[in-house]
A and B are shown apart, each in its own frame.
Chain A
Amino acid sequence: MPNTDDGVFLKFDEVKKSYDQKNLVVKGFNIAVEQGEFITLLGPSGSGKTTVLMMLAGFESVTSGTISIRGQSINKTAPYKRNIGMVFQNYALFPHMTVAENLGYPLSVRGVAKAEQRKRIAEYLDLVELGAFGNRYPGQLSGGQRQRVALARAMIFEPTLILMDEPLGALDKKLREQMQYEITRLHEQLGFTVIYVTHDQAEALSMSNRIAVFNDGVVQQCAPPAELYERPANAFVAEFIGENNFIEGTVDRIEGGRAVTTIPGQGTVTAEAAEGLSAGAPCVVSIRPEKLFIHPTSHAHDNEITAKFVARIYVGDFIRYYFRLENGSEIVVKVLNDLSAPEFGEGEDGRLQWLASDCIAFPHPGEMPDVAG
C-alpha cells in the first residue's frame, strides 16, 4: 500500500461511523488511493462497505477521522460540491427525463452552454454505444442499457472520482460479465479513479487493481486480486474469497516461515505460516479445492491425508468430489473432467495430496469457517 502522501489522491484516515451512538458500523477505515486506481470494497452485506461509500459521497456524516482528496479534507464539504460521480444499484435515472436530458442534467447544473451540452451528450452516448437512444425514456430501455446510461451520466461531467454502489447487482449473469468488461474498458480509456462496492467476489477479482475485504466494519485485507486469492491474510479472507477447505489442527513448530501442524488422526501437514501463528496453538489449514489431488496422481506433493468419499458431482468442465474427515469436516476436491478423474465406491477411502506451498495455516478463528462458495 503506498503510504507516502505525494501521489495519494484519496485518503481515508481512521474513519469511523456510528448511527446510534453505541455501535460502530465502520471501525477505523484507512486507505490511500492513487489517481486512476480501481479500488473495490468487498464484503458481506452489513459489513460497512456501503457506509464508507456514502461517507465519501457526502450522504452520511463522518463520526470521526478524515476523508481527504488531494490533501484537502472533504468531511465538511456538501455532497453537491464534491464533484464525485456516482452510479447506483437501481441506476437512479430520472424517469421523467429522456436519456439525453439525464446526461445533460449535470452539465446544465454547471451552466454549460446548450451547444456544448449537445456535443458532450452525443460523445458520451457514443462512448457507451447508445448513440441512437438519446430521445428514449429510461423506462423504454433494458437493464443493461440503463446501466450504461447511468455510467455515462456519472462520467459526463468529468469527475476525477466515480463511486459505484453494486452497479451490476440487478443484472443477470451474462449481462453482468458484459458490463464488467465495459466498465474496465472505460476505466482504462478515460483514466478516472473508481471506488466500487460489491458483494460479488468474482466481479471484484476480475475488475480491480486492489480489493479491500470488509467484515464487521473492519478491513480484513487490502491487496491486489492475485495476492488476495493466493495469500489471504486470515481465515475470513481465505473463506470469503473463492472456495477453500479448512482442516483443524495444532501447530507443532514454525520453521522458515512454514508451520508443521498435527492433524488429529492423520499425522503432520506442512503449510505456509500466516501472521499471528504460534507453536502449540490451535490452527486451521486452508487449501483450495483445485490444489488438491487424489492419489494416484503424477503431481508432486508434500502433504497427504486420508478421507472418506461421500459424493461425486458432475459439473461439466470439472468434477467435484466430496470427502469427509473423521471429525466431520468436509473436504471438496475439484478435478478437471478428463480420463484421470477417478471413480469411488460409497464409503471408500481416498488419499488427498498437495504441496506445502499451496496451503496456509491460520490461527484458529474460534469457530470453524463455513465451507461455502
Chain B
Amino acid sequence: MAETALAAQATASGLGPEDARNAAREVRAQRVRAFLFVLPLLAFIFFAFVAPIASMLFRSAYNPTAAELVPTTLEAIESWDGEGRPDEAVLTQFAIDLKRLANDRTSGQLAEEINRFLPGTSSVVKSTARALRRAEDETLATGGAALLLDANEAWGEPGIWRALTQAGQVYSASYYLTALDLEMSREGTIQQRDTQIYLKLYGKTLWMALIITLLTLILGYPLAFHMAHSSTSRANFLMVFVLLPFWTSLLVRTTSWIALLQTNGVVNSTLMALGLTRDPLEMLYTQFSTIIAMTHILLPFMVLPLYSVMRGIDPSYMRAAMSMGSRPIPAFLRIYLPMSLPGLSAGALLVFIISVGYYITPALVGGTDGQMISNIIAFHMQQSNNWELAAALGSLLLFLIIALYWLYDRFVGAGNIKLG
C-alpha cells in the first residue's frame, strides 16, 4: 500500500522505482546511524533514570513484607468484620505464625510494619514474639489464642488487628494518603490525620523555591542586562564571577555560609562591632540561611540563560521604540521584557525545579526550620526505613513538578524556553 503510493509519487516527480528504493534505503541507513550514536546515552538513561523512577513509582504503592511474613493469618482474618475480637482460629493461627517468625528472627520486621499503622505496637509484637518462642507447637495449636492474650492484652483489642490487615495489603494507597497527611478511617472514608506534617512541608518547599527564584531573578536580571550590553571583554570578565560558584565544590560553598552566618560568625561579629545589635542574631539553621545559601548557589542558573538570550537582542529594538516616542521604562516593559522572556522563563524554571528538590544545602544549614521535602524523604530512606513512604513522597514531588510544568506550558508556552 505504502509502496504503491511511494512509487506513484516517485513516478510523478520523475523518480524511477529503483531510485525511490535507493533514496528510501539512504534515509533508513541515516536513521540507523543516528540511532547508534545515541544508543549508549539511551541505555544509560534507561538504567540510571527511567528504571529507578519506575521502581520508585511502583514501590510507593507496593509493600509485600507483611503479606510474605504472615500469609495464613491474613487469609484467615479476611472474614473478620473489623469489630470486636477476631475469631479464636485467627488468633491461634497468628500465634503459630508469630512463633515461626520469632525463631526466624523476622518478628521485628512485622513489628515495624504494624507499628506504622498503629504507633506504639512495635513493643507489643516484639514482647509477644519473645513469649511465644519457647511455646510448644501442640499447646499453640490448641490454646494459641489464650497464650497470645496472656502475653499482651492488646491482642484482645480490634485496633492492632486492623493495623495488621492494613499492613497485609500488598498494593495500597495508604502511603500516598500518609504523604498527603490523610488516613483511611475505620468506616473506609478518607480523613485528615491528627498530625499535619507533609502538606505543610510541601507548601514550605514550594514557598521557599518561589522566594529563591524571585531572589535570583532580582539579582540576576540586572546583571545579565548589564553584561549583555557591555563590551565582550568586560562581559567575559563578569562571567568569571558568575561562574565562580560553579567551579567550587558545593560543600565548600555551603560550609563557607556556615562560617559566615553562625552565632560567632563573620556577619554577627561585624554587626556587633558596629553596634547594630547587642546579641548575636540567630541566622544559621533557619529558613533564612537556607534561602540565602541556595540563592547564591542557584544564581548562575538564572544568569546564564538570561545572558545568552539578552546577548541576542539587538540594541536597535530599544532604539526603535524610543525613536517612536516611547520613554525608556515603558519601552523596556513593552519591548525588551517580552523579548527576554524566553531566557527569563528558562532561568526561572531551572532555578525553581532545582530548588524544589534541593537536599544538601537545607540539610547542612537549614536546621529544623529550613528543612525541605527532600530532607524528609532522605529521613525516611535512611533513618525510619520507610522506603514506601519515601517513594510516595518522592512520587508526589515528581507529579507536582510535572503539574507545574504543565501549568507553565499552558500559560507561557514551553516553546518559549531558550537556554542559548
A313 to B299, alpha carbons, bound, how many Å? 63
Q: Which of B324, B328, B330, B339 lies at the interface centre, i.e. has the most chain A CB atoms within 10 A of its CB?
A: B324
Tell me the residues in window 329-354 of chain B with beta carbons closer than 8 Å to chain A beta carbons: 330-331, 334-335, 338-339
Tell me the residues in window 73-113 of chain A with beta carbons closer than 8 Å to chain B beta carbons: 79-86, 88-90, 92, 94-96, 105-106, 109-110
Q: List B contacts of A105 (CB < 8 A).
A: 321, 324, 326, 334
A153 adjacent to chain B (CB < 8 Å): yes
Q: List A contacts of B326 (CB < 8 A).
A: 80, 105-106, 109
Q: Known A95-B339, A96-B338, A109-B330; judge A90-B314 contact (CB<8 A).
A: yes
B408 adjacent to chain A (CB < 8 Å): no
Q: Known A110-B325, A153-B324; judge A86-B319 contact (CB<8 A).
A: yes
A95 to B320, alpha carbons, bound, how many Å? 13
Q: List B contacts of A90 (CB < 8 A).
A: 314, 316
Q: List A contacts of B325 (CB < 8 A).
A: 80-81, 83, 106, 109-110, 157
Q: Known A94-B335, A109-B330; judge A157-B316 contact (CB<8 A).
A: no
A251 adjacent to chain B (CB < 8 Å): no
Closest to A82 in B: B323
Q: List B contacts of A154 (CB < 8 A).
A: 323
Nearest Cβ in chain A — how far from B415, in angstroms? 13
Nearest Cβ in chain A — how far from B102, in angstroms? 72
Are B323's CB and A86's CB within 8 A?
A: yes
A344 adjacent to chain B (CB < 8 Å): no
Are B323's CB and A84's CB within 8 A?
A: yes
Are B339's CB and A96's CB within 8 A?
A: yes
Q: List A contacts of B331 (CB < 8 A).
A: 80
Are A88's CB and B335's CB within 8 A?
A: no
Are B339's CB and A79's CB within 8 A?
A: no
Nearest Cβ in chain B — how far from A102, in angstroms? 9
Interface residues on chain A, number (Cβ under 8 Å): 26
Interface residues on chain B, number (Cβ under 8 Å): 19
A147 to B316, alpha carbons, bound, how many Å? 14
B322 adjacent to chain A (CB < 8 Å): yes
Q: List B contacts of A153 (CB < 8 A).
A: 320, 324
Tell me the residues in window 278-304 of chain B with beta carbons closer than 8 Å to chain A beta carbons: none
B317 adjacent to chain A (CB < 8 Å): yes
Q: Which of A57, A79, A83 lies at the interface centre, i.e. has the most chain B CB atoms within 10 A of its CB?
A: A79
A59 adjacent to chain B (CB < 8 Å): yes
Are B323's CB and A79's CB within 8 A?
A: yes
Are B324's CB and A57's CB within 8 A?
A: no
Tell me the residues in window 176-234 of chain A with beta carbons closer than 8 Å to chain B beta carbons: none
Closest to B328 in A: A80
Tell me the residues in window 346-373 of chain A with beta carbons closer than 8 Å to chain B beta carbons: none
Q: Known A79-B319, A86-B319; judge A92-B324 contact (CB<8 A).
A: no
Candidates B319, B328, B335; contact of A57 at CB < 8 Å: B319
Q: Known A94-B335, A96-B338, A96-B339; judge A109-B324 contact (CB<8 A).
A: yes
Nearest Cβ in chain B — how far from A156, in angstroms? 9
Are B317's CB and A94's CB within 8 A?
A: yes
A154 to B325, alpha carbons, bound, how many Å? 11
B31 adjacent to chain A (CB < 8 Å): no
10 interchain pairs, CB-CB under 8 A: A58-B322, A79-B319, A80-B323, A80-B326, A86-B320, A88-B316, A92-B317, A94-B321, A94-B339, A154-B323
Residue positions of B touching A, CB distance < 8 A: 314, 316-317, 319-328, 330-331, 334-335, 338-339
Residue positions of A touching B, CB distance < 8 A: 57-59, 79-86, 88-90, 92, 94-96, 105-106, 109-110, 153-154, 157, 163
Shortest Cβ-Cβ A-B pairs, 9 listed:
A106-B324, A92-B320, A86-B323, A92-B316, A88-B316, A79-B322, A109-B326, A80-B322, A109-B325
